[in-house]
Structure 1
Amino acid sequence: MKTMRKLQPWYSLIGIAVFAVILLAVAPSVLSLHWINNLGKYCCWAIVAVGIGMAWGRGGMLVMGQGVFFGLGAYAMAMHMTLETAGPGAVPTFMVLYDPLAPLPALWEPFRSPLFTIAAIIVLPLVVAGILGYALFKRRVKGAYFAILTQALAVALAVFVSSTIRETGGDTGLSGFKYFFGFVLTDDTNKIMIYMITAALLIVCMVVAWQLYRSRFGELLLATRDAEERVRFLGYDPANIKLVAFVIAAIMASIGGAMFVPIVGIITPQEIGASASILMIAGVALGGRASLFGPVLGAMAIGWGQSSLSSSWPEGWIYLLGLLFIVVTLFLPNGLASLFSRAKGFIRRGRADTTPAPTAPEKEEVVA
């Protein structure tokens, strides 16, 4: 049994390797460009889901405002791509429409640099999540209060972006991109390259999560979720443990948002608001928030449903999603990932029931 427990974490690493082969080798060779683009979009949501699984599934923090960090990464990337499309020293077209003589806002100017943009995608969520998490966790805000506060931030950010039409494009958002760090977006080869980068980032995030789950930090994160006061009694500060998981989840959400922009070609407030954040949570809950692969597969399934069913069945898709979420919550609280363990339990019980009881002489031999 001890040997099996030692080998168990490596099964997940083998699974990640198989998943990487499917995404990076099999999918590009068998799927059309349309489905490659869709799969890249699902990978963006899956990157966010890995972080949610860490914060919610392992840390017990119901992060219902990941749209905030998704939006930070998405708008940072969109601002750079908009300036790249406009050309050196030029002002974006949508700003010129409102005021032809107005200069480029000072906030936009640094995003002409690719290095600054990449740094902003990592640093912005780190700073925002660090400040927010420190303020909440040090005051021991948790449970429903934490979930409501994070969701309120997503709503506030969406409203703010909608109201700043000249700076962010408002409800219309940012679109019309032509370049991605110098690569032409209309080139099919470059589209596949962007998908490969996104899929590789997903694999990296999964490996990071796998390593953290099996480390001392992962054990402390689980202990904080299940017995926070005992962790505090042992000399650890649960607030710091939660803060690290919250910041990592925020950075992953920002990375997913940044790669979402060149794949989809547009970012609007609807992609970062409360409904988008709930959709991210729904995918994690469907797949199984406490597992490694559950959030990834659940997010991809919800993404496929949104892309396929919402266009052919726009009125009924949201009700189907709500019904699915209720059924999973009631009958599979640990998500679809728990089906495998339940199946193994049924098989073991079935074998135990069919095993004949030992006869009296056999019992004597065993005693002897």
Structure 2
Amino acid sequence: MNAPSLSARLLAADDRRLWLGMAGCAIAFLVVVPMLNLAMPPDSALHMPNYMVTLLGKYLCYATLALAMDLVWGYCGVLSLGHGAFFALGGYAMGMFMMRSIGARGVYGNADLPDFMVFLNWKELPWYWMGFDHFWFAALMALAVPGALAFVFGWLAFRSRITGVYLSIITQAMTYALMLAFFRNEMGFGGNNGLTDFKDILGFPLAEPSTKLGLYMLSALVLGLAFLVARFVVTSKLGRIMMAVRDAESRVRFLGYSPTWVKLFGFTLSAMLAGLAGALYVPQVGIINPSEFSPANSIEIAIWVAVGGRGTLVGAVLGAFAVNGAKTWLTGAAPELWLFLLGALFIAVTLGLPKGLLGLWGQIRRKEKAHA
């Protein structure tokens, strides 16, 4: 019986490192963080305050969003600058459920209409708000609405063979159009103020630290599951075809495969993951408004992936944490410089680190092995 080839041994070693890394992250996020928050006394240097748990929960949602972007950009070669729209739509779906859950506890005491509709003299609930008094329906819509939009938009774009910068521009135009639409009071989504003043989710008060911790842990679990789904896809035969489309689309078409359907699958799955991230994000921040559709947000998502390492999945997660951690610190230390630093970071990574932080780490390891 032949011994395993060198490439097979290397792949097995990479798999072991990946699973060990995932196990370490699971312990850190699901065991260590809750222990530091609950078990350590507030005056201890090791205590993790409640606001930090919420902040980490936001980062976990951003990491899931970055994973979604990497799936379509890193593996399909489709640079979408409209993924902020899918994230926002998922957030609005969950926000609508929480608005319906307020009932008569709102400012105007109207059990049938959200406060902003009462203020704007709406007489009845719009048809597209029906069903959002059920959690299962809202969760389904958080996946189905972004997925349906991505499917229709992608089918029209990919069948017309729109690629490269032109595709990036029209995805950016899509999210900008949605932002303008959601700003209108007539749309029935709260206009400029959006949806806010949520009370609870499934009966758990959002102001309670235990609810915040539960949402954080759910976000960590969803990130892990999203990573496993994305990895299953990219390591399958379909994933290899996706990478072939990314690298040589015309050759893939010549071999008899349909790049349209391959890219459409990646784009739709990516949008659904982005919607899921948005649905988890909104209960933790307590608001969703049209600013989430801003094209700048979608560009920032691409920066996370580029900084971490495009086409690696792990790099997307790393980039989301690294960039948002830096943003949190810099917006407090030097808020007027943050946007300039973000732009400089993107340029530096594009020119000097085309494979991102994960690629840099790989270069360092190879040099160490060469000198050993």
SS in 2 for 1:110: coil
Aligned 1:345-356 pairs, distance under 5 A: 345-351=366-372
Q: State which structure, 1 or 2, has the greater radius of gyration over its C-alpha atoms.
A: 1
Q: Report which stretch shifted further, 194-203 or 300-309.
A: 300-309
CA distance in 2, matches of 1:51, 1:10: 24
Correspondence for 2:35 among 4, 29, 39 = 29
The 1:166–1:124 alpha-carbon spacing in structure 2 relative to 1, beyond 3 Å, is: closer
Q: Report which stretch shifted further, 80-89 or 20-29.
A: 80-89
SS in 2 for 1:107: helix
The equivalent residue for 2:285 is 264
Aligned 1:126-275 pairs, distance under 5 A: 126-164=147-185, 167-275=188-296
Correspondence for 2:116 among 87, 94, 97 = 94
The 1:166–1:214 alpha-carbon spacing in structure 2 relative to 1, beyond 3 Å, is: closer
Correspondence for 2:62 among 45, 55, 76 = 45
1:89 is displaced (CA, Å) by 4.2
CA distance in 2, matches of 1:281, 1:86: 39
CA distance in 1, matches of 2:192, 2:306: 29
1:14 is displaced (CA, Å) by 2.6
SS in 2 for 1:227: helix
The 1:53–1:166 alpha-carbon spacing in structure 2 relative to 1, beyond 3 Å, is: closer
C-alpha deviations, 1:115-145, integer Å up to 9, x for none? Answer: 1111111111121111111111111111001
Instruction: Determine if the alignment matches structure 1 residue 57 to structure 2 residue 39.
Output: no
1:6 is displaced (CA, Å) by 3.6
1:81 is displaced (CA, Å) by 0.4
1:305 is displaced (CA, Å) by 2.8
The equivalent residue for 2:342 is 321
SS in 2 for 1:168: coil
CA distance in 1, matches of 2:93, 2:333: 32
Equivalent residues of 1:162, 1:171 under 8 A apart: yes
Instruction: Determine if the alignment matches structure 1 residue 343 to structure 2 residue 364.
Output: yes
The one-letter amino acid paired with 1:329 is: T
1:43 is displaced (CA, Å) by 0.8
The one-letter amino acid paired with 2:206 is: L
CA distance in 1, matches of 2:262, 2:23: 29
The one-letter amino acid paired with 1:84 is: S
The one-letter amino acid paired with 1:47 is: T
C-alpha deviations, 1:322-358, integer Å up to 9, x for none? Answer: 111111111001111101221133234435xxxxxxx
Aligned length: 350
Equivalent residues of 1:13, 1:210 under 8 A apart: no
CA distance in 2, matches of 1:98, 1:311: 37
C-alpha deviations, 1:92-112, integer Å up to 9, x for none? Answer: 11111121x621222112211
The one-letter amino acid paired with 1:172 is: N
CA distance in 2, matches of 1:166, 1:246: 26
Correspondence for 1:72 among 89, 113, 124 = 89
Instruction: Determine if the alignment matches structure 1 residue 8 to structure 2 residue 41.
Output: no
SS in 1 for 2:357: coil
Task: Calculate percent identity across the aligned residue pairs.
Answer: 37
C-alpha deviations, 1:277-305, integer Å up to 9, x for none? Answer: 11111111111111121111111222223
Aligned 1:83-122 pairs, distance under 5 A: 83-87=100-104, 89-99=111-121, 102-122=123-143
Equivalent residues of 1:16, 1:207 under 8 A apart: no
TM-score, scaled relative to structure 2: 0.90
The equivalent residue for 1:291 is 312
Gaps of 5+ in 1: 352-368
1:7 is displaced (CA, Å) by 3.7
SS in 2 for 1:73: helix
CA distance in 2, matches of 1:297, 1:62: 19
